[in-house]
């Protein structure tokens, strides 16, 4: 009992300075524990649900855009292949055109298929007297060069 009496004396001394020495009740701490241990509130649940919906919509959008870009890439690859085939055909046609437009081949076809021949000297037609070539052209050039 002496200890209890000293306790009350100490308590009175501390009360002079505005301090309360009485032990605090633990009810408030038990209530806090119950709140923290209880289930989430309705607002928290709705926020989590909205966040889940937004993330799922973004994921579906990402998958759809990836599929669409893959489809476009597939179409581009097909067009590139078709373009390569057409460029090869164009190159083959250009080679044929160059080979068929060669002067020797044209001359050969004219002689064999069409029966064409070169004209003889008697078959030339001149429009004026000045257009008639000189009979010995080499001699005429020689004379003009040395005179």
Average pLDDT, the chain: 82
Return contacts of 53-61, CB within 8 angstroms, 24+ apart.
none
User: Which is more confident, 100 or 30?
Assistant: 100
* pLDDT classification of 23: cutoffs 50, 70, 90: low
- Cα separations in angstroms, 107 against 27, 93, 98: 119, 21, 15
Residue 86 to residue 78: CA distance in whole angstroms: 12
Tokens 């301090």 — which residue? 19
Cα Rg of the chain, angstroms? 56
The pTM score is 0.42
Q: What is the pLDDT of residue 52?
A: 97
pLDDT tens by residue, 73-111: 999 999 999 999 999 999 999 999 888 888 888 888 889
- What are the residue ranges spanned by the domains of the chain? 1-38, 40-117
């Amino acid at each position: 009992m002496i200890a209890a009496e000293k306790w009350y004396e100490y308590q009175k001394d501390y009360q002079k300075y505005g301090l309360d020495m009485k032990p605090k009740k633990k009810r408030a701490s038990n209530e806090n524990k119950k709140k923290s241990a209880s289930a989430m509130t309705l607002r928290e649940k709705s926020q989590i649900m909205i966040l889940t919906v937004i993330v799922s919509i973004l994921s579906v959008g990402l998958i759809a855009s990836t599929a669409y870009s893959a489809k476009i890439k597939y179409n581009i690859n097909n067009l590139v292949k078709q373009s390569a085939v057409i460029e090869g055909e164009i190159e083959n046609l250009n080679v044929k055109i160059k080979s068929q437009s060669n002067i020797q081949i044209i001359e050969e076809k004219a002689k064999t298929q069409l029966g064409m021949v070169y004209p003889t000297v008697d078959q030339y037609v001149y429009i004026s007297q000045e257009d008639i070539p000189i009979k010995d052209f080499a001699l005429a050039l020689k004379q003009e060069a040395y005179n």
